[in-house]
Structure 1
Amino acid sequence: MINKSYILATDANDVLYALKIINNDEKDSTSLIDHPVLIGSRAAKWHIPLFRDPNDWDLMATIPQSISFINII
């Protein structure tokens, strides 16, 4: 079985849009909002073993922290 990969975001605006949607959808007491998200090639490699080997830095932060960081850079 071959996993088909999809690129969900290619720039900061796309990433911010996705994170803000997730942030707005998390309204119940079992929210994942305070759990960290991993953005980068290591996350892709974890989910898709055939993805290229990680060779750069990744960002691991909560969704609000990720939004703040991306807005700063």
Structure 2
Amino acid sequence: MYLASRIVYICPRKKEGLGGDIAGLVMMIIASMMGFNAGNYFDLVIWSWLSFIIGIGFLVCHLAANKKTKNVDQQ
């Protein structure tokens, strides 16, 4: 899921839409939910939290970049 979400994130990186970021967020949330149900594997729970944080980071970074671009275009 990490590799797939990274590929989906890299492909539309020059676009203004949120499609790649939302897809990356969804894939990372799915990965984190699968890891939270790991049972006795504590290290997998850590990777699950990391994937959740990365997924949120995808979306936040793209929103910040779009906001910065819109502010520069308006000036």
Q: Same fold (TM over 0.5)?
A: no
TM-score (norm 2): 0.34
TM-score (norm 1): 0.35
Which of the pair has more CA radius of gyration? 2
